[in-house]
């Protein structure tokens, strides 16, 4: 019974791939196993948004930026569900692993921090995209979907899911009790999302609040996503990509440093 | 020969200022069955935590089969399997998935991991439960699952941190047979346990840690040879007269009308004791060691000289556990 003394570069990368695949598979299995908690609620919530804000209230609001109110809010609502689910999946899963202590299975194994991070992020992205697809499917009952720039839609939703999965991971690293994993979603994420231009164009705000809104990173994601569908946005698309990319790099760097130090997971 | 585990000046001070390890030097030879013993709070779990990468050390060096845990963490970890003291499996996973997932972290492909998992789960008597969720397992089954999980990647060094705590005697014995077979196949075993008779029966070498430092490190045989006294309890058919008790050449005290406790020192032997009792027409019905030999040594090495003696009838190891 023995592990090989030396490991070739190829073997090491195959081991990394298997480890990543194992974490990502376990994460996927987790949210699929509890689909009633993870996949159904966002579909129901968004259906209610479509009915109430889109059909009932939206018809009285009139066009925004030249589009029906329903068409205007659908991309934002899809993005809202993607953001919430990416964040929630990773924060609850990684904190659960800490709480039940089975995160130790990863810590004793030869799995580098970046693979642990990538595996959990893959789980968050998977759930976010699945929920995004479900919500898009539901939205088809309420509007005739048109996609102006499919690649922008695909890339923005992917990058946003990655960004908020990273955010959820960082939250879980610092969390010590269950309250700590609900504070950020409730008091930070929800206000940022609601004030991120999901339901309105920032052109509708007074000049001061327009400037304040520009400090909200969610605004850039919602607008970039909307641009992908409708071909119109409140902010230049290149700036949106730049900010999303910058935040991803920043959060990844912080997460890797914390994993290396063992913050929140080693004594 | 490369040591399976080498610790050099290992130190750990927790944030609250508690110094758990105070410069531990330790070497465990490849292929050994090694006991690491110590009272609660001595630093055993901290030491194992550092070797397992679950605790950050304050200073010192850890090498697993020559691989420095700081410089070659992946190579070191690939050689190591750990069965922790506290249960740490995902309660919502199936038994077989726990083992396969752990193997996956070490890069073992799923098909190979599944085959390997079946072998270990069968050997540990868990195969019938392989599709059961972990939370439905009994305490003993959970302990065995953690052993199967630790072996998922076929480590060269297996650390068992009190693996039989709370396990009934039949399962405990089957677990030891299993671990002995692993050792016979070449796996180095490091064991911590509060059942000292197990350590004495299974392990070839031993280290005793107390207050963060190694106070003894020797082959089991050498260590036991150091013991210069042994206490026996004799159950008598005829009571020993009070006068005879006072005249006894051995330290002796009556436990009740039919039992006495006798301490034999180096050079004493049971034949002489029996002859002395025979001369006083005292018949001995049976006798037993008051404490396991290793237990006695353990207490000698770890109890302060001023500590009160163990309460009568309470086994020494239990008093420490």
What digits encode the pLDDT tens for the residues A73-127?
899 999 999 999 999 999 999 999 999 999 999 999 999 999 999 999 999 999 9
Single out the residue of B135, B183, B139, B138 nearest to residue B160, CA to CA: B183
| Candidate from A1, A101, A108 with C-beta closest to B77 | A108
* Confidence check: pLDDT of A202 > 90: no
Please give the structure tokens belonging to residue B315: 């086994």
**Please, which pLDDT band fits residue B5 given cuts at 50, 70 and 90?**
very high
Cβ contacts below 8 Å, chain A against chain B, sum to 101
Between chains, do A108 and B187 touch, taking CB under 8 Å as contact? Answer: no
Please give the structure tokens belonging to residue A21: 């695949």
Q: What is the C-alpha to C-alpha distance for residues A10 and B11, in angstroms, rounded to an integer? A: 36
CB A22 within 8 A of CB B104: yes
> Looking at residue B316, what is its pLDDT?
36
B56 inside 8 A of chain A by CB? yes
Single out the residue of B167, B164, B196 nearest to residue B35, CA to CA: B196
Between chains, do B105 and A21 touch, taking CB under 8 Å as contact? Answer: no
> Looking at residue B292, what is its pLDDT?
62
B3-224: what CATH class?
alpha beta
Round to the nearest angstrom and report the end-to-end CA distance of chain B.
Answer: 35
Domains of chain A, residue spans: 10-261
Residue B55 DSSP class: S
CB B24 within 8 A of CB B212: yes
C-alpha dist (Å) from residue B306 to A195, B303, B310: 70, 8, 12
Q: How close A245 comes to chain B (CA, Å)?
A: 29
The mean pLDDT value for B217-245 works out to 80
State which residue of chain A sits closest to B102, comparing Cα positions: A105
Q: What is the C-alpha to C-alpha distance for residues B218 and B224, in angstroms, rounded to an integer? A: 10
* Confidence check: pLDDT of B303 > 70: no
**Please, which pLDDT band fits residue B256 given cuts at 50, 70 and 90?**
confident
A101 inside 8 A of chain B by CB? yes
Tokens 């305490």 belong to B139
Between chains, do A110 and B92 touch, taking CB under 8 Å as contact? Answer: no
Between chains, do A266 and B108 touch, taking CB under 8 Å as contact? Answer: no
Q: Chain B partners of A106 at a C-beta cutoff of 8 Å?
A: 105
Between chains, do B56 and A262 touch, taking CB under 8 Å as contact? Answer: yes
For chain B, positions 184-203, list CB contacts with chain A under 8 A.
Answer: 185-187
Round to the nearest angstrom and report the end-to-end CA distance of chain A.
Answer: 31
ipTM: 0.87
For chain A, positions 245-264, list CB contacts with chain B under 8 A.
Answer: 261-262
> Looking at residue B231, what is its pLDDT?
81
> Looking at residue B170, what is its pLDDT?
81
Q: What is the C-alpha to C-alpha distance for residues A90 and B136, in angstroms, rounded to an integer? A: 26
Q: Chain B partners of A25 at a C-beta cutoff of 8 Å?
A: 104
Please give the structure tokens belonging to residue A158: 């992917």
Q: What is the C-alpha to C-alpha distance for residues B17 and A138, in angstroms, rounded to an integer? A: 57
* Confidence check: pLDDT of B146 > 70: yes
According to CATH, the superfamily of the domain at B228-305 is Alpha-L RNA-binding motif (3.30.70.1560)
Buried b (16+ CB within 10 A) or exposed e, B274-303: eeebeeeebebeebeebbbbbbbbbbebbb
If you average pLDDT over each of A71-75, A141-145, B142-146, which comes out highest? Answer: B142-146
Between chains, do A3 and B153 touch, taking CB under 8 Å as contact? Answer: yes
C-alpha dist (Å) from residue B242 to B28, B256, B271: 51, 12, 22
pLDDT tens profile A172-195: 999 999 989 988 888 998 889 888
The mean pLDDT value for B41-55 works out to 92
A98 inside 8 A of chain B by CB? no
Residues of chain B with CATH 3.30.70.1560: 228-305
Between chains, do A97 and B90 touch, taking CB under 8 Å as contact? Answer: yes
* Phi, psi dihedrals of residue A4, rounded to the nearest 5°: -60, 145
The mean pLDDT value for B249-266 works out to 84
Residues of chain B with CATH 3.40.50.300: 3-224
C-alpha dist (Å) from residue B118 to A15, A234, B125: 21, 58, 10
The mean pLDDT value for A199-206 works out to 83
Can you tell me whether residue A227 is helix, strand or coil? helix
| Length of chain A, in residues | 267
A115 inside 8 A of chain B by CB? no
Between chains, do A14 and B84 touch, taking CB under 8 Å as contact? Answer: no
**Most A CBs within 10 Å: which of B4, B30, B107, as the mutation test of the A interface?**
B107
CB B158 within 8 A of CB B187: yes
Please give the structure tokens belonging to residue B314: 């309470």
B310 inside 8 A of chain A by CB? no
> Looking at residue A117, what is its pLDDT?
97
The mean pLDDT value for B245-271 works out to 84
> Looking at residue B290, what is its pLDDT?
73
Q: What is the C-alpha to C-alpha distance for residues A45 and A66, in angstroms, rounded to an integer? A: 26
| Candidate from A14, A30, A261 with C-beta closest to B107 | A14
Q: What's the mean per-residue pLDDT of chain B?
A: 86
> Looking at residue B242, what is its pLDDT?
82
Between chains, do B106 and A104 touch, taking CB under 8 Å as contact? Answer: no
């Amino acid at each position: 019974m023995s592990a090989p003394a030396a490991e070739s570069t190829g073997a090491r990368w195959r081991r990394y791939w298997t480890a990543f695949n194992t974490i990502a598979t376990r994460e996927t299995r987790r949210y699929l196993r509890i689909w009633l908690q993870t996949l159904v609620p966002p579909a129901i919530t968004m259906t209610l948004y479509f009915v109430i804000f889109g059909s009932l209230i939206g018809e009285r609001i009139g066009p925004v930026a030249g589009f029906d109110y329903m068409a205007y809010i659908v991309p934002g609502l899809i993005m809202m569900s993607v953001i919430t689910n990416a964040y929630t999946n990773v924060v609850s899963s990684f904190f659960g692993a800490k709480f039940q202590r089975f995160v130790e299975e990863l810590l004793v194994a030869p799995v580098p921090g970046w693979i642990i991070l990538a595996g959990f992020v893959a789980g968050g992205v998977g759930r976010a995209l699945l929920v995004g697809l479900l919500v898009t499917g539901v939205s088809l009952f309420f509007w005739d979907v048109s996609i102006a720039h499919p690649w922008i839609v695909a890339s923005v939703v992917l990058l946003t899911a990655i960004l908020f999965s990273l955010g959820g991971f960082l939250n879980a690293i610092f969390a010590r009790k269950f309250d700590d994993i609900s504070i950020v979603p409730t008091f930070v994420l929800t206000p940022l999302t609601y004030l991120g231009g999901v339901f309105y164009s920032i052109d509708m705000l007074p000049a001061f609040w327009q400037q304040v809104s520009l400090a909200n990173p969610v605004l850039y994601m919602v607008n970039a996503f909307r641009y992908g569908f409708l071909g119109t946005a409140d902010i230049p698309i290149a700036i949106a990509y730049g900010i999303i990319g910058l935040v991803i790099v920043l959060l990844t760097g912080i997460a890797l440093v914390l994993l290396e130090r063992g913050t929140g997971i080693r004594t | 020969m490369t040591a399976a585990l080498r610790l050099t000046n290992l130190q750990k001070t927790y944030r609250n200022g508690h110094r758990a390890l105070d410069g531990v030097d330790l070497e465990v030879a490849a292929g050994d069955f090694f006991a690491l013993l110590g009272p609660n709070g001595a630093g055993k779990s901290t030491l194992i935590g550092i070797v397992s990468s679950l605790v950050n050390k304050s200073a010192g060096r850890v090498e697993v089969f020559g691989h420095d845990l700081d410089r070659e963490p992946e190579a070191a970890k690939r050689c190591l399997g750990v069965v922790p003291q506290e249960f740490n499996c995902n309660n919502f996973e199936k038994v077989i998935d726990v083992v396969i997932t752990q193997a996956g972290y070490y890069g073992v492909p799923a098909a190979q991991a599944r085959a390997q998992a079946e072998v270990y789960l069968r050997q540990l008597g868990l195969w019938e439960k392989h599709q059961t969720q972990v939370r439905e397992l009994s305490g003993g089954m959970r302990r065995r699952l953690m052993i199967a999980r630790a072996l998922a990647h076929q480590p060269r060094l297996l650390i068992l941190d009190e693996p039989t705590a709370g396990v009934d005697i039949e399962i405990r014995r089957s677990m030891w047979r299993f671990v002995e077979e692993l050792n016979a196949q070449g796996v180095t075993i490091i064991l911590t346990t509060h059942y000292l008779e197990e350590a004495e029966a299974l392990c070839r070498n031993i280290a005793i840690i107390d207050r963060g430092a190694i106070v003894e490190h020797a082959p089991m045989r050498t260590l036991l040879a150091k013991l210069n006294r042994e206490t026996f309890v004799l159950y008598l058919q005829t009571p020993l007269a009070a006068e005879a008790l006072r005249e006894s050449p051995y330290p002796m005290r009556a436990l009740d009308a039919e039992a006495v406790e006798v301490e034999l020192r180096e050079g004493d032997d049971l034949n002489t004791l029996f002859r002395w009792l025979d001369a006083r027409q005292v018949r001995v019905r049976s006798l037993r060691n008051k404490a396991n030999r290793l237990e006695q040594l353990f207490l000698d090495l770890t109890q302060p000289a001023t500590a009160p003696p163990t309460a009568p009838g309470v086994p020494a190891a239990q008093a420490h556990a």
